[in-house]
Structure 1
Amino acid sequence: MKIIVPMAGMGKRMRPHTLTVPKPLIPIAGKPIVQRLVEEIAKVSDEAIDEIAFIIGDFGKDVEDILRGIAENIGAKASIYHQEEALGTAHAIYCAAPSLSGKVVVAFADTLFKADFVLDAEADSVIWVQKVEDPSAFGVVKIDGKNNITDFIEKPKDFVSDLAIIGIYYFKDGDNLRDELKYLMDNEVVVNGEYQLTDALENMKNKGLSFKPGQVIEWMDCGNKDATIHTNQRILEYHKGDELVCSSSTAENSIIISPCYIGENVKIKNSVIGPHVSVGANTTVSNTLVRNSIIQRNSNLENLNLENSMIGNYVDIQGEVSEWNVGDFATFSK
């Protein structure tokens, strides 16, 4: 089975963190978002993942090497494709046309999930959904009495369903998906200047393809700073009881309140960390209280009282701060 991961977006809602790194590589509890995504997909699949195709922008060799490592960690080959221009979801997936064959999972890399089902690889297609309170902000599906998806509705103004599409799709026949996407390109089937995956899904349904819902337990967004911090909290809760404090880290005269992730060579002194805090490798925290926050690698925090904050890589902050959203290579003192 293959996983197709469109991740070429600029991540504007996550700035300043995406000025130096693509959003799917932002760490959640010590692992990049996209790594957690493909690992969860592998968990619900009875079949081995033999290839992961990443569709990226001009992110550079270092990012490509990280993505290859993520694929290799689950025993898969990595394929790298580039989307030069943002022309919609269908166009993004079609950029990986050479990998669209056989059984494929398409997973957009700005969401995480928890599920207790095993993917039915013999189904024509499975679209993963979650119940939401306000379906008007999402694409939703309607389901008949036989648990078949009958309609796709994009951001309905009136209530038709509360099952939102979370951005993960399974197709038994990737060649069929590729052909339907090509049809959209060849015939300039666009909505607001973009090629939409939902148009391909509708065409496939009209030709008799059966779509089943795969309902997840929890859908976690990584679209902006507050949502990402909340997702970090939820992932830490799922791993509560696991060993998330690296043995090379040190804590002097300090308290770590579980659940927290503490990376390699982190130094903590005279501080209280947690709950729901992730601290990246080689970071130093001293005389500081931190709750419900993400602190990345190689940073230095002193004399702070932080909550609901995201701190980037190579950041130096000293002084009284209650909530902060700081990108990489920043220095602040008070």
Structure 2
Amino acid sequence: MKALVLSGGSGTRLRPFSHSMPKQLIPVANKPVLEHVLANIRDLGVTDVGVIVGDRAADVSRALGDGTRSGVRITYLRQESPLGLAHCVRLAREFLGDDDFVMYLGDNMLPAGIGQVAAEFTEHRPAAHVVVHKVADPSAFGVVELDSAGRVEHLVEKPRNPRSDLALIGVYFFTPAIHEAVAAIAPSSRGELEITDAVQWLVDQGAPVRATQYSGYWKDVGRVEDVLECNRVLLEGVESRVSGEVDDASVIKGPVVIEEGARVVRSLVEGPTIIGPRSVVEDSTVGPYTTLGAGCVVRGTRLDASIALDGAVITGVRRLSGSLVGREARVALGAQGPAEHRLVVGDHCRIEVTG
């Protein structure tokens, strides 16, 4: 089996961050979303991975390299414009050959993994096996309708009047039968080759198509709120590890990771929290549910339920909560005012807030 990971898309809901980095590289628990995806794929025993990239190809390849760090072999496949998920399958035809494969959208987080779905696909080996989840607003997703026996009967992309609350969540298992399907379909009204149309073509041809309702935690990290929520969920599994320096005037409470080269000085760090390598926490309270990337500085600040990306500096803020602070951004004390703030600060910004 091979894997096809989709890492294109503009990430409009994550602006300003997606202006300067692919949304798939936003860190959750201090690791880019794509690295979590590759870990789930590797856990299936799949090591041959094609990664579809777009305009941000250089950023993605710089972050993932050849896949060695993640225990896989990566082949990068360039999609010049976003022409749909089924177009990605067409584009990867030579790479995929006649192998079965898992297709995984690179902005989806499934911390519990997809091992059970993979086992079901291997046991039954239908032409396609989709993963679904009940959602409150199915009109924002590809929607699946099942027959009385639980078989896939109908699929439609972003319907105005959904007849089911089962949404496709970005993980698909395919046999080579999908290649005939994507060759047979035409672009939708959106101008894209929809994977839902390709799977529907298989259904219409009488090919077996199965679905698994995913019972674990799932999140499409398309919005800042989703990133922060997912960060909180993953931090629940953190185990304490102190590789950096903690002075005698500091207190560590709960599960906290302090990476090599990090320093905690006259501060309280409440877990679950991760302090990244070479970061400095001084005269501050950090956590719970907080991650600092590499080379961050937090001084004279109360910071909780937040993510600070590499190189962020936060100084003199009485309380910052539920915030996402970009790479190399600066948040500092301004005039006096309300005691708590919530910020979404893009890369390289400079912000002054009230104390």
Structure 1 and Structure 2 fold alike (TM over 0.5): yes
Answer with 160-169 or 118-127: which moved more: 118-127
Tell me the residue number matched to 1:323.
342
Tell me the residue number matched to 1:176.
177
| Cα distance in 2 for residues equivalent to 1:289 and 1:200 | 51
Contiguous gaps of at least 5 residues in structure 2: 242-256, 335-339
Q: Give 1:210 deviation, angstroms.
A: 1.8
TM-score by length of structure 2 reads 0.84
Answer with 74-83 or 153-162: which moved more: 153-162
Match of 1:177, SS?
helix
Matched, 1:106 2:103: yes
Match of 2:4, SS?
strand
Q: Give 1:315 deviation, angstroms.
A: 1.3
Answer with 274-283 or 215-224: which moved more: 215-224
Is the 1:260–1:276 Cα contact (8 Å) retained in structure 2? yes
Is the 1:5–1:53 Cα contact (8 Å) retained in structure 2? yes
Larger radius of gyration between Structure 1 and Structure 2: 2
Matched, 1:75 2:71: yes
Tell me the residue number matched to 1:333.
352
Match of 2:130, SS?
strand
Matched, 1:128 2:147: no
Match of 1:297, SS?
coil
Code of the residue aligned with 2:34 in structure 1: it is V
Aligned-residue RMSD, C-alpha:
2.1
Q: Give 1:223 deviation, angstroms.
A: 0.5
Percent sequence identity is 28
| Cα distance in 2 for residues equivalent to 1:298 and 1:285 | 10
| Cα distance in 2 for residues equivalent to 1:236 and 1:81 | 33
Q: Give 1:127 deviation, angstroms.
A: 0.8
Tell me the residue number matched to 2:294.
281
| Cα distance in 2 for residues equivalent to 1:221 and 1:4 | 17
| Cα distance in 2 for residues equivalent to 1:60 and 1:250 | 34
Tell me the residue number matched to 2:150.
147
Matched, 1:49 2:46: yes
Tell me the residue number matched to 1:194.
192
| Cα distance in 2 for residues equivalent to 1:150 and 1:98 | 30
Larger relative contact order, structure 1 or 2 (CA cutoff 8 Å, min sep 6): 1
Match of 1:256, SS?
strand
CA separation of 1:82 and 1:289: change in aligned 2, threshold 3 A: same
Code of the residue aligned with 2:9 in structure 1: it is G
Q: Give 1:307 deviation, angstroms.
A: 1.1
Is the 2:41–2:47 Cα contact (8 Å) retained in structure 1? no
Is the 2:42–2:72 Cα contact (8 Å) retained in structure 1? no
| Cα distance in 2 for residues equivalent to 1:328 and 1:291 | 20
Is the 1:6–1:93 Cα contact (8 Å) retained in structure 2? no
| Cα distance in 2 for residues equivalent to 1:14 and 1:189 | 27
Contiguous gaps of at least 5 residues in structure 1: none
Match of 2:310, SS?
coil
Tell me the residue number matched to 2:270.
257
| Cα distance in 2 for residues equivalent to 1:159 and 1:60 | 35
Is the 2:34–2:106 Cα contact (8 Å) retained in structure 1? yes
CA separation of 1:41 and 1:215: change in aligned 2, threshold 3 A: farther
| Cα distance in 2 for residues equivalent to 1:209 and 1:59 | 37
Is the 2:110–2:218 Cα contact (8 Å) retained in structure 1? yes
| Cα distance in 2 for residues equivalent to 1:85 and 1:295 | 31
| Cα distance in 2 for residues equivalent to 1:156 and 1:190 | 13
Tell me the residue number matched to 2:310.
297
Is the 2:235–2:272 Cα contact (8 Å) retained in structure 1? yes
Residues 93-147 of structure 1: CA distance to partner in whole angstroms, max 9, x if unpaired? 3222222231211111121114475212242232111122333332222223443
